[in-house]
Structure 1
Amino acid sequence: MIELDIPERDGGYSKGNETRELILRTALEILIEEGYRAMSMRRVAIACGMKFGNLTYHYRSREDLVRELLEAVIRSYEVEFDQIVHMSSASAQERLQRICTFILEDIRSKKTTRIFPELWALSNHDAFVLARVQELYGRARAPLIEIVGDIRPDLPIADREAIALFISASMEGMTPFAGYEKPFEPLMPKLSDIAIHSFVSLVETFGRDSN
């Protein structure tokens, strides 16, 4: 399971950072095991073994807590993506394969299978969650756009963005079918091979047969 990357606050102190980490990890565990609606501020405070007032000292509202929790989640992914994108020893095609392999393997984790579909459903009715989800996925697509551009520098930026969106959506769409404890989870290695082969071919050939 990918770790949270929790940013330190300006002027923060060690004990305060440790408390925030406890709060965020506890909130994440509740989100995974019980869902977003169960992740109330009081529920998080009780699970952390602290007073409600102590929790609100660090996070004034559930929105503040969710914002920093999702920031910690996406930062942890960005660390992994950055390492792959800047692998000087690997070709652009190999980097695309690596980043897709990482995402598809992560989909099989309990955390990812539980959290993201929960957020997708909530985003249909909650503008705050929708904005956070859009921001999260926009940042997650950025390394894909960069790699697509490395493979096909001739493509306009709009085409690179569309291809990255298609690849991202295709991978995320496997979650309810082949994610953690889902019916086709045992087939994920083969599905990954099919997906990665298709994605690399798509990037290499897109637009070249249109004439």
Structure 2
Amino acid sequence: MDSPPKFVTDLIMPEREGGYLKGQETRELILRTALSILIEEGYRAMSMRRVAAACDMKFGNLTYHYRTREELVRALFEAVIASYEVEFDAITHVPDLPPEERLQRVCLLILDDIRSKKTTRFFPELWALSNHDPFVFDRVQDLYVRARAPLLAIITEMRADLTPEECQIVALFISASMEGMTIFAGHEKPFEPRMPEIERIAVLSFCNLVRTIRSEDIAGLER
């Protein structure tokens, strides 16, 4: 098994039609500042005025680029998930790489990234908020649909005998299993030092699961 990949820490900025380079740089500053506030202080601290002050700009200048907090959050989520999609795409399009090895690499990327401060703070903050905020709930669901897409594609390739719904269940199980490790082995969590062992067990288990699970196993789990 290859060594764990690098953390996914950067943002991929949403593209906009037209506009000046200065405006693009300003939007990048706003999104990076908003992400920093969310990680360090929590979502509720990430008000428009707080972001403007941290960027050392007038409130009106901020609302020129992002008219509402919802628009800012939507752009921030897009920048975060796009950074993962670039990494996933690089893995899934390696020439002549068997699908099981691609599955290993995608899982290692996600598991290793859980140990980063950004991921440990960012996603649990959103999970908690999505329980009470319908807007955040919708954004989080969309984010995870896109995050599961590479897993689903690889599982479908490995197991053409499973139905699309069964492949989705397996992809959901693997994704949920990895995300659940955040609270135990994420950044500065009690079992972070054991993450290398956890990664090896997880990847071995997921690959065995995808290779061997049967339709009747999934149907049995549904009853």
Same fold (TM over 0.5): yes
Is residue 155 from structure 1 mapped to residue 186 from structure 2 by the alignment?
no
TM superposition shift of 1:61: 0.7
CA contact (8 A) 1:26 1:44 kept: yes
TM-score (norm. length: structure 2): 0.92
- Assess, with a 3 A threshold, how the Cα gap between structure 1 residues 205 and 22 changes in structure 2: closer, same or farther: same
Aligned equivalents of 1:13 and 1:133: distance in 2?
31
Partner SS, residue 4 of structure 1: coil
In 2: Cα distance, 1:186 partner to 1:69 partner: 30
**1:141 aligns to 2:153 (yes or no):** no
Unaligned 5+ residue runs, structure 2?
A: 1-7, 218-223
SS of equivalent to 1:2: coil
> 1:208 deviation in Å?
6.9
Partners of 1:185 and 1:176 in 2: CA distance: 10
Specify the code of the residue in structure 1 equivalent to 2:15: E
Q: Deviations over 1:151-201 (max 9, x none)?
A: 111111001100000000000000000000000000000001000000000
1:209 CA drift (Å): 7.5
**TM norm structure 1:** 0.97
Superposition deviation, residue 204 in structure 1: 0.4
Matches of 1:2 and 1:180 in 2, distance apart?
Answer: 13
Any residues of structure 2 matched to 1:45-194 within 5 Å, and which?
45-194=52-201
Moved over 6 A (4+): none
Matched, 1:198 2:205: yes
CA deviation string 1:34-73 (max 9, x = no partner): 0000000000000000000000000011100000000000
Instruction: Tell me which amino acid in the other structure corresponds to 2:28.
Output: E
How much has 1:2 moved relative to structure 2? Answer: 2.0
Question: Matches of 1:140 and 1:208 in 2, distance apart?
Answer: 24
Which deviates more from structure 2 when the two are superposed, residues 122-131 or residues 79-88?
79-88
Q: Does the 8 A contact of 2:166 with 2:215 survive in 1?
A: no
Percent identity, aligned pairs only, is 68
Alignment size in residue pairs: 210
Measured on the aligned residues, the alpha-carbon RMSD in Å equals 1.0
How far did residue 90 of structure 1 move?
A: 1.4
Compared CA separation, residues 202 and 75, structure 1 to 2 (3 A): same
Amino acid at match of 2:20: Y
**Residues in 2 aligned to 1:2 and 1:185: alpha-carbon distance in whole angstroms:** 18
Give the counterpart of 2:26 among 19, 41, 62.
19
In the alignment, which of 23, 36, 39 is matched to residue 29 of structure 1? Answer: 36
Gaps of 5+ in 1: none
Give the drift of 1:87: 1.3
> What SS class does the counterpart of residue 208 from structure 2 fall into?
helix
Give the counterpart letter for 2:11 in structure 1: L
Question: Conserved in 2, the CA contact under 8 Å of 1:2 and 1:77?
Answer: no
Deviation at 1:8, TM superposition (A): 2.3
Deviates more, 1:183-192 or 1:5-14: 5-14
